Amino acid sequence: MSETFRFWTCCLSECSAAAAIDVGICERCRQHFCAVHARPPTHCCKNDPLDDDAWGAAQTAEVKALRRMINDKNLLRRASERNRNLDCKLDPLDPLGEKRMGGMHIHLRIIFSDGTAWLARILRQNYTSFSDNFSNLCLKSECATLKWLKDINVPSPKLYDFGLRNDPENDVGVAYMLIEELPGTPLLFLSPSEEQLRKLYNNYADILCTINKYPLEQIGSLSLQPNGTICMGPIVSDRSGTFSQMGPFRNAQEYYATWAERYLELICDRQLFTRYSINAYLIFRYLKELAEQGHWNAFESSIDNGPFFLKHMDDKGDHILVDEDFNVTGLIDWTFARAVPIYEAFGPSLLTAEMSDIYEGKAGRSRGDTLLAEALQTKNKHLVRFAGGPDLVRRFSFGLGMGMDMSWDEAVALFRGIMSTAEESRLEFDWDVWRQNRLSQWAGDVRLQELLLKLGEI
């Protein structure tokens, strides 16, 4: 087993334990605590989230601190040099870059003298930020992905320049990318009719068909080499950034089994699912066995060996820009993109999900799944079978695969949906019976026994 990746260590000098990613990161005191010290009497901050005013003030303070780190003169100089030496300025209507701020980035709008505009996509820096090395890996992977997408004519921002965090050659002061500003509004912010959705899914199906024409030989994340070439490298992380690099892989069974194993390692290290560690361990041990037995694949086993295809890993709708007529103008935010098996790349996605059904453990296809499959039917019948397949990967990657401060009731409902999908069963699922059976079945699992002992359950 590889050494368990650790994001942070408990902030107490006398404690060497890993910080708990789910319950140990405090937005009030901005410290990292292990699962033991995250509670009183060691840590006494309120458990409830910041109110809107306090949250907004904290966010503004963070962005202002980041802006003070940015050398605007050098940023604009680099933009000008890469656009025919045109004069340029920062958009005065959004000096902090908050209008286009996401979970990981702010975006400063750069306006050129010819009226065109670019975006400076800048990594946020706060108490939850990744290490410099990890942040740079993410940035280089996204740069490689944007270059690859442009080469195959997928509508996405063109990359003009980038700089790494704490790189002596980066005189901008922060990690950044200079990218094309695409027109349009994020789909997630709109309420389209079914007719408008059909039009959008028709556009989206065209993009999926384009990606399908460019298979890849391994599962992993695209990586940018020093000479500018693109190769397949390890998977950088998942969509919530909760595990370290893994791969690349030539087989899907190994990919999914390693994915589950990463979570088992984090659970044993008390970094994730710390409020119900034993239950979480049993779930992910089961998911690992499903992967090793090839049960994440509901189709012929040969496709587990490739080819593989690029997938946007956070495709919940805000990654799609549309115009006023619901034509797709581009796909954005490609952080954590990776090449995956065909049934994951073109299978049920977050875009078409009925999220309430996933959280309530209800198996089955959504209306969005059906509409996208219908759009693909006229374009690529080969992809239709995957679009209409089981949504096991979707349920895992968005639900249990996030692992961020999830209640046990939420987790067991999500797992119930995974069980129903994986075993194609509508029978009532009794967690207590299942748990006891697994504890007996895996009595020889050394890690499980050590975790039970650590938590005082034996």
How many Å separate Cα 335 from the centre of its chain? 7
Distance between CA 352 and CA 201 in Å, rounded? 9
41 in Cβ contact with 18 (< 8 Å): no
What backbone torsions phi and psi does residue 243 show, to the nearest 5 degrees?
-150, 165
**pLDDT tens-place string over residues 72-112:** 999 999 999 999 999 999 999 999 998 999 888 999 999 99
Check residue 364 and give its pLDDT.
Answer: 72
3-state secondary structure of 185: strand
pTM > 0.85: yes
Note the CATH number of domain 67-181: 3.30.200.20
Tokens of 363: 């198996």
Q: Looking at this protein, which amino acid is placed at residue 226?
A: P
Note the CATH number of domain 187-454: 3.90.1200
Among candidate residues 359, 342, 365, the one with its CA nearest the CA of residue 400 = 359
Check residue 359 and give its pLDDT.
Answer: 72
Distance between CA 170 and CA 150 in Å, rounded? 25
The DSSP secondary structure of 296-335, one letter per residue, reads: T--S-GGGGG--EEEE-TT-SSTTEEE-TT--EEEE---T
Distance between CA 207 and CA 188 in Å, rounded? 18
Distance between CA 107 and CA 120 in Å, rounded? 5
Query: Which residues, in sequence order, are CB contacts of 195 under 8 Å at separation 6+?
Result: none
Cβ-in-10-Å burial (0-12, 13-18, 19+) of 227 comes to exposed
Among candidate residues 400, 393, 401, 399, the one with its CA nearest the CA of residue 421 = 393
Query: Which residues, in sequence order, are CB contacts of 19 under 8 Å at separation 6+?
Result: 7, 8, 9, 10, 11, 25, 32, 33, 34, 271
226: preceding bond cis by omega (within 30 degrees): no
Number of Cβ within a 10 Å radius of residue 265? 20
Cα torsion for 204, 209, 215, 216, to the nearest 10°? Answer: 0
Query: Which stretches of the chain score pLDDT less than 70?
Result: 1-2, 239-243, 361, 363, 399-404, 424-427
**pLDDT tens-place string over residues 212-261:** 999 999 999 999 988 889 999 999 987 666 667 899 999 999 999 999 99
Check residue 455 and give its pLDDT.
Answer: 94
Check residue 240 and give its pLDDT.
Answer: 64
Among candidate residues 252, 182, 216, 163, the one with its CA nearest the CA of residue 337 = 216
177 in Cβ contact with 161 (< 8 Å): yes
Query: Which residues, in sequence order, are CB contacts of 79 under 8 Å at separation 6+?
Result: 88, 110, 112, 118, 120, 160, 161, 178
328 in Cβ contact with 412 (< 8 Å): no
161 in Cβ contact with 79 (< 8 Å): yes
Q: Which residues pair with 328 in a beta bridge?
A: 322
Distance between CA 425 and CA 363 in Å, rounded? 9
Q: Looking at this protein, which amino acid is placed at residue 433?
A: V
Task: Return the domain boundaries, the chain.
Answer: 10-49, 67-181, 187-454
